[in-house]
C-alpha cells in the first residue's frame, strides 16, 4: 500500500544523495551573480564619481549611462553567465537525478518503495529543478537588491526601477525556460536508455538532429540550386532542436529589453517545447522496463527514428564532403561518400543501441531504405528533379512581382529588409512579368550581370522567391520593373523619419569634402534639399539609375529605418537635377552645384595601372582602350595625325616606384578644355551595375598647385588620347 505522504520522504531521501549538486550549484551562482556584480560595481567607481560631479561619459550623461548599464547587467550579462549555469545544471541533474535507472540493483530498490511511479518521477524531477533554482534565487535576489540600492543612490526614479525589475524578471523566466528545455531533453534521453553512453548519443540526436537536417538541406540548396534565395525563418527553425533552442533563446534575450512581444513569443514556444519534453520523459518512465538498466535503447520507434535521422544527415554530409574533395566533378565520389558515411553511422548506432559489436548489420532493410532515400534526395538536388531553378508558372497564374537589389539604390546597407520592395512592391503588368521570368530562366548570364532577388506572387496567394542572374542583354526587361514608382521610392527617396537621428552630412567633389553639422546648418534646410532630390528622382528615374548628365558632387549621411540600424546613404548630384541644384543654391551651397572653371586647371594626367616597362606601342594602346572603356583596336590615321600635332604638349612620366606607367601630362589649353567638358567631379557610386558604365579617376592640377581628382566616364575618351599612350611605351 502506498502513501501520498511518502512523496516528501522520497524527495528528502533523494536530496540527501545530491548534496554535492546543491553545493556545486550554489558555488556557480555565487560566482556568476554576486561576485560578478561586485566586480562590475568596482569597475564603475570612476564613472560614479563623474556622475556625482556632473561630468559626461562617452558623450552622454554619466548618471544615465550607469542606469542603462545596470539594467543591461541583468539583461545581457546575467543571461549569458546564468545561462551557462542553467544549461550545465540541467545536464548534470538530468543525468544523475535518475541515476538509479542505470543500475539493476538500484532500480529494483527504488521501484520497491511504497510510492507510485508517477510520484517517484515527480519527486526526482522536482528535486532536479530545485537543485538549480533555489541556489540561483538565493544569490539572484540579493544581487538584484544591491543593484536597486545602487540605482537609488544615483537618484533613479520609479521608471528606472521598473525597468530594472522588469529586466530581472524576464531574465529569470528565460533562464528557467532554458533549464527546463535542456532538463526535459536529457530526461527523455535517460528514459530511453539503459546507460550513460546511450543517453549521450540519444540526447545529441534528439537535441541537434532537427537543426542538422535543416542545415544539410540548406547546404544542398546553396550548392545545387543556382537560383536559390534564402527566405528560411531561422528563428522559427531553432525550435526544432532543443539543444539549439536554448542558446538561441539566451542570445535573443541578450539583445532585447524586457516586455518585447516578439521575444515573449519565442519564450512561450520554448516553454511549451520544454513542457512537452517533460511530459514525454514522464510517459517513457511509466512504460520503462526495469530490465532496461545497463542495456542500450530498446524502444523500437525511438531507435528507428534516430537511425533514420542520423543516417540521412550523415549520408548527405558524406556526399557533400567527397564532392568538395574532388571539386564536384565526379558524381561517383559523391555516391561513395554518401554510402560510406551513412553505413558507418547506421552501423555504429546499431552497436551502441544494442551494446553488441556484432549488431553492425542488424537492420539491413533499414540501412538499404535509408541509403536509397538519401541517394534519391541527393540525385534530385544534383539534377534538379524538382524543377526548382527553371520553375515558370503559367502567365494566367501570376498576380504580381517584387524585386530588390542593393546594386540599384543609394543605400550601402539595407536598413529594414522587411520593408524592401521585395515585399512591398506590387507590380502587376503580367506581360512584363512573364517576359522577365521567361528570360531569367532561359540561359546562363554573359558579360556584366547581377543577382536580383525576386518575389513572385500567384493568384492562389502563394509566393515563391528566386535569385535570378540578369545580364546587360536583358536590362530593358529589368528597367520596366526597376523604374516602378514603389521601387524608386524605397531605393532612392529619403523619408523624414530616416533623418530623425542624422547629425551631419558631407558634400564631396574633386577629392575634397566638407562636413556640415545639422545643428548649425539647420535640419529644415537639409530636409528641403532632400525633398528636392526626391522630386528629381521620381520625375526622372533614369538620372538616378543611369548616370544621365554630369556628376557635379555627392552628398553622404547616415540614416535610420524602423530596424534602428544606421546605414550610409550616398546621393549623386547631376547637372540635370534642377530641383536639387536650386535647393543647394538657396541653402548657400551653390559652389557645390556649379561646374568648375577649366581656366583654373593647368594640367591633366591620364594614367594606366601597373608596371609595363616592356610593352610595345600596340599593347599599350590596346590596354588604354580597354582601361578607358573603348571598343575596337584599329588605328585611326586621322586621329593619329591629330595626336602628332599636339605631341609637344605631351610628356611620358613613368612612376617606377609606385608601379604606375605611363601618364600623359596634358598641358595644352585646348586639350584641357576638351577633356574638362567630359569630366565628372565626383566618383561614381555603384559603378559596376548594368545601367552605369562607371569612370576612371583622373588627376588634375590647378593654378595654386592643388591636386584634384576628377572622373572620366567610361567610353568617352577620344581615340587620339588612346593613341598617345603608344608613344610612351
Instruction: Output the DSSP codes for 557-602.
Output: EEEE-TT--EEEEEEEEETT-HHHHHHHHHTT-GGGTSPPPGGGEE
Confidence of residue 653 (pLDDT cuts 50, 70, 90): very low
CB contact set of 608 (below 8 Å; sequence gap of 6+): 620, 623, 624, 627, 660, 661, 662, 663, 725
Question: Would the pLDDT of 358 be above 70?
Answer: yes
Which of the pair, 130 or 562, is modelled with greater confidence? 130
Contacts of 406 (CB under 8 A, 6+ apart): 412, 414
323 band by pLDDT with thresholds 50, 70 and 90:
confident
Determine how β-strand 695-702 pairs with β-strand 601-607: antiparallel
Q: How confident is the model at residue 634 (pLDDT cuts 50, 70, 90)?
A: very low
* The pLDDT of residue 610 is above 70: no
Whole-number pLDDT of residue 686: 65
Are 188 and 288 spatial neighbours (Cβ–Cβ below 8 Å)? no
pTM of the model: 0.79
Residue range 252-304, pLDDT digits in tens: 898 765 457 788 889 999 999 999 999 999 999 988 888 888 888 988 999 99
- Which of 95-99, 199-203, 514-518, 532-536 bottoms out in mean pLDDT, i.e. has the lowest? 95-99
387-396: pLDDT as tens digits = 999 999 999 9
What CA–CA distance (Å, rounded) separates 543 from 538? 10
- Name the average pLDDT for the chain: 85
From 113-122, 291-300, 346-355, 431-440, the region with the lowest mean pLDDT: 113-122
Helix (H) or strand (E) holding 440: helix 430-440
pLDDT value at 81 more than 60: yes
Average pLDDT over residues 398-426: 79
What Å distances lie between residue 305 and 192, 210, 249, 292, 571, CA to CA?
13, 11, 26, 19, 57
Q: Burial level of 223, CB count in 10 A (0-12/13-18/19+)?
A: middle
Q: How far apart are CA 99 and CA 92, in angstroms?
A: 11
Higher pLDDT, 580 or 112: 580
Q: What was the pLDDT predicted at 284? A: 92
240: CB partners within 8 A, 6+ apart:
210, 211, 214
pLDDT of residue 647: 40
Percent above pLDDT 70 for the chain: 90
pLDDT tens sequence across 413-451: 654 566 678 888 899 999 999 999 999 988 777 777 888
In this prediction, residues 551-561 reach a mean pLDDT of: 88
DSSP 495-531: -GGGGTT--EEEEEETTEEEEEEHHHH-HHHHHHHHH
pLDDT at 612: 58
Residues of the chain with pLDDT > 90, as a percent, come to: 40
Buried b (16+ CB within 10 A) or exposed e, 45-57: eebbebbeeeeeb
* Residues 688-709 pLDDT 10s: 567 777 788 898 999 988 899 8
pLDDT in tens, 184-221: 999 999 999 989 999 999 999 999 999 999 999 999 99
Q: Where are the domains of the chain?
A: 6-209+226-292, 300-382, 395-491, 496-588, 598-726
Res. 663 pLDDT band, cuts 50 70 90? low
**pLDDT of 97 above 70:** yes
Please report the pLDDT score of residue 721 as a whole number: 86
Among the ranges given (324-338, 368-382, 486-500, 657-671), the one the predictor scored with the smallest mean pLDDT:
657-671
> Is 455 in contact with 403 (CB distance < 8 Å)?
yes
Amino acid at each position: 500500500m502506498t502513501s501520498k505522504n511518502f512523496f516528501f520522504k522520497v524527495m528528502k531521501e533523494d536530496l540527501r544523495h545530491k548534496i554535492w549538486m546543491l553545493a556545486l550549484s550554489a558555488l556557480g551562482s555565487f560566482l556568476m551573480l554576486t561576485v560578478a556584480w561586485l566586480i562590475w560595481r568596482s569597475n564603475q567607481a570612476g564613472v560614479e564619481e563623474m556622475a556625482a560631479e556632473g561630468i559626461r561619459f562617452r558623450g552622454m550623461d554619466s548618471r544615465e549611462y550607469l542606469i542603462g548599464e545596470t539594467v543591461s547587467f541583468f539583461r545581457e550579462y546575467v543571461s549569458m553567465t546564468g545561462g551557462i549555469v542553467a544549461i550545465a545544471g540541467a545536464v548534470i541533474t538530468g543525468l544523475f537525478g535518475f541515476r538509479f535507472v542505470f543500475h539493476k540493483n538500484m532500480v529494483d530498490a527504488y521501484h520497491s518503495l511504497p510510492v507510485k511511479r508517477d510520484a517517484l518521477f515527480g519527486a526526482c524531477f522536482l528535486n532536479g529543478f530545485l537543485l538549480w533554482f533555489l541556489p540561483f534565487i538565493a544569490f539572484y535576489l540579493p544581487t538584484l537588491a544591491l543593484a536597486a540600492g545602487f540605482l537609488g543612490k544615483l537618484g533613479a526614479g520609479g521608471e528606472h526601477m521598473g525597468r530594472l525589475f522588469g529586466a530581472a524578471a524576464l531574465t529569470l523566466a528565460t533562464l528557467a525556460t532554458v533549464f527546463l528545455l535542456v532538463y526535459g531533453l536529457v530526461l527523455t534521453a535517460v528514459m530511453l536508455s539503459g546507460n550513460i553512453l546511450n543517453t549521450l548519443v540519444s540526447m545529441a540526436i534528439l537535441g541537434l538532429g532537427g537543426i542538422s537536417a535543416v542545415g544539410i538541406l540548406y547546404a544542398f540548396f546553396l550548392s545545387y540550386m543556382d537560383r536559390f534565395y534564402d527566405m528560411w525563418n531561422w528563428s522559427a527553425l531553432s525550435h526544432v532542436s532543443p539543444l539549439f533552442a536554448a542558446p538561441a533563446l539566451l542570445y535573443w534575450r541578450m539583445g532585447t529589453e524586457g516586455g518585447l512581444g516578439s521575444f515573449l513569443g519565442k519564450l512561450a514556444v520554448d516553454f511549451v517545447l520544454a513542457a512537452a519534453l517533460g511530459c514525454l520523459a514522464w510517459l517513457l518512465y511509466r512504460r520503462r522496463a526495469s530490465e532496461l538498466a545497463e542495456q542500450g535503447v530498446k524502444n523500437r520507434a525511438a531507435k528507428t527514428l534516430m537511425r533514420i535521422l542520423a543516417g540521412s544527415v550523415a549520408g548527405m554530409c558524406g556526399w557533400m564532403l567527397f564532392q568538395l574533395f574532388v571539386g564536384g566533378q565526379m558524381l561517383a565520389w559523391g555516391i561513395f561518400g554518401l554510402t560510406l558515411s551513412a553505413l558507418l553511422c547506421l552501423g555504429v548506432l546499431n552497436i551502441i543501441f544494442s551494446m553488441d559489436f556484432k549488431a553492425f548489420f542488424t537492420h539491413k532493410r533499414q540501412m538499404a531504405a535509408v541509403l536509397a532515400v538519401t541517394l534519391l534526395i541527393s540525385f534530385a538536388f544534383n539534377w534538379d528533379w524538382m524543377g526548382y531553378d527553371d520553375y515558370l508558372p503559367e502567365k494566367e497564374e501570376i498576380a504580381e512581382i517584387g524585386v530588390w537589389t542593393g546594386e540599384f539604390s543609394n543605400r550601402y546597407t539595407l536598413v529594414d529588409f522587411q520593408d524592401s520592395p521585395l515585399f512591398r512592391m506590387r507590380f502587376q503588368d503580367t506581360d512584363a512579368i512573364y517576359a522577365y521570368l521567361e528570360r531569367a530562366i532561359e540561359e546562363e548570364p554573359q558579360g556584366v550581370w547581377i543577382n536580383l532577388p525576386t518575389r513572385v506572387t500567384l493568384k492562389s496567394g502563394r509566393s515563391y522567391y528566386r535569385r535570378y542572374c540578369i545580364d546587360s542583354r536583358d536590362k530593358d526587361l529589368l528597367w520596366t520593373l526597376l523604374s516602378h514608382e514603389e521601387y524608386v521610392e524605397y531605393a532612392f527617396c529619403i523619408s523624414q523619419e530616416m533623418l530623425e537621428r542624422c547629425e551631419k552630412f558631407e558634400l564631396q567633389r574633386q577629392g575634397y569634402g566638407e562636413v556640415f553639422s545639422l545643428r548649425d546648418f539647420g535640419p529644415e534646410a537639409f530636409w528641403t534639399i532632400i525633398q528636392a532630390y526626391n522630386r528629381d528622382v521620381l520625375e526622372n528615374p533614369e538620372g538616378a539609375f543611369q548616370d544621365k548628365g554630369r556628376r557635379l558632387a555627392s552628398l553622404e549621411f547616415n540614416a535610420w529605418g524602423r530596424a534602428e540600424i544606421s546605414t550610409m546613404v550616398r546621393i549623386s548630384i547631376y547637372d540635370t537635377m534642377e530641383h536639387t541644384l536650386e535647393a543647394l543654391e538657396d541653402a548657400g551651397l551653390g559652389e557645390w552645384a556649379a561646374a568648375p572653371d577649366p581656366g583654373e586647371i593647368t594640367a591633366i594626367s591620364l594614367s594606366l595601372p601597373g608596371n609595363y616597362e616592356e610593352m610595345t606601342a600596340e599593347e599599350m594602346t590596346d590596354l588604354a582602350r580597354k582601361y578607358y572603356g573603348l571598343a575596337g583596336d584599329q588605328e585611326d590615321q586621322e586621329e593619329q595625325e591629330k595626336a602628332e600635332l599636339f605631341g609637344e604638349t605631351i610628356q611620358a612620366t613613368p612612376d617606377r616606384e609606385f608601379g604606375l606607367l605611363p601618364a600623359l601630362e596634358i598641358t595644352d589649353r585646348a586639350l584641357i578644355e576638351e577633356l574638362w567638358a567630359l569630366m565628372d567631379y565626383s566618383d561614381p557610386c555603384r559603378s559596376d551595375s548594368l545601367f552605369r558604365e562607371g569612370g576612371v579617376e583622373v588627376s588634375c592640377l590647378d593654378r595654386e598647385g592643388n591636386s584634384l581628382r576628377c572622373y572620366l566616364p567610361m567610353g568617352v575618351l577620344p581615340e587620339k588620347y588612346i593613341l598617345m599612350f603608344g608613344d610612351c611605351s
